[in-house]
Amino acid sequence: MDVLRVTIADDSEFMRLALKRILETQECLEIVGMASDGEEAVNQVRELKPDVAILDIKMPKISGIEAAHQIVADNPGTGILILSAYEETQYFSELLKSGATGKGYLLKTSLAEVDALIRVIEAVAQGDTVLDPVIAQRMAEAASDQSEPDQEAQRTGLNFPPPFPHRHVAGPLNKPTP
């Protein structure tokens, strides 16, 4: 596989540097950009044209979700990986409004193994859709209980579609490394 070019955007300098230090140890990845807010991320992706943009949800100027929409509109071949502390399913639903191809949503609490993160980055770059198992479970539970709304749907006011149909949901997290 060719070297994947990656841009990292997070308002936490610690997270940006930690991700960079982890990812730059991988021969299959090249970190080409670092951004501290959503607007800077969009501009860097326009200029640098990475294969994958790793975005935080909550960033100054524009959110990670809005940055993702702008990135996809300008650079449809760039995969989007959202790394977030937020377990609410509405963020993933919002991310999908610009299409499901090449999108991933992982919780920062799921980043225990570097190999799993690398597999997700590779999957998103190849156009797969990857969803953190915790979020997938919440969405499935919300969708399976059609008779009465679940607590999250009541709290957020969102109606969820049937369980997510993509075969790649959470799959790359469980694949062994070749």
CB 130 within 8 A of CB 168: yes
- Inter-axis angle of helices 13-23 and 114-125, to 10 degrees? 90
pTM, two decimals, is 0.78
pLDDT reading at 168 higher than 50: no
Which class in CATH covers the domain with range 4-133+168-174? Answer: alpha beta
**Predicted pLDDT at 90:** 75
Residue that is written with structure tokens 């075969």 in the block:
167
> Six-digit token pair at 16?
């940006």
Q: In the chain, what are the domain boundaries?
A: 4-133+168-174
**Predicted pLDDT at 157:** 53
pLDDT reading at 149 higher than 60: no
CB 40 within 8 A of CB 8: no
pLDDT reading at 5 higher than 80: yes
CA distance 46 to 83: 20
Taking residues 105-131, report their average pLDDT: 89
Q: For 154-166, what is each residue's pLDDT tens digit?
A: 555 555 444 444 4
CB 10 within 8 A of CB 16: yes
Q: For 22-76, what is each residue's pLDDT tens digit?
A: 999 999 999 999 999 999 999 999 999 999 999 999 999 999 999 999 999 999 9
pLDDT reading at 171 higher than 80: no
Give DSSP secondary structure letters for 106-149.
EEGGGTT-HHHHHHHHHHHHTT-EEE-HHHHHHHHHHHH--SS-
- Of residues 51 and 100, more confidence is placed in 51
pLDDT reading at 1 higher than 90: no
Least confident of 73-77, 82-86, 88-92, 132-136: 88-92
**Predicted pLDDT at 28:** 94
- Strands in 129-131's sheet, in edge-to-edge order, are 29-35, 4-9, 52-55, 79-84, 103-107, 129-131
CB 39 within 8 A of CB 67: yes
**Predicted pLDDT at 154:** 57
Is residue 67 helix, strand or coil?
Answer: helix
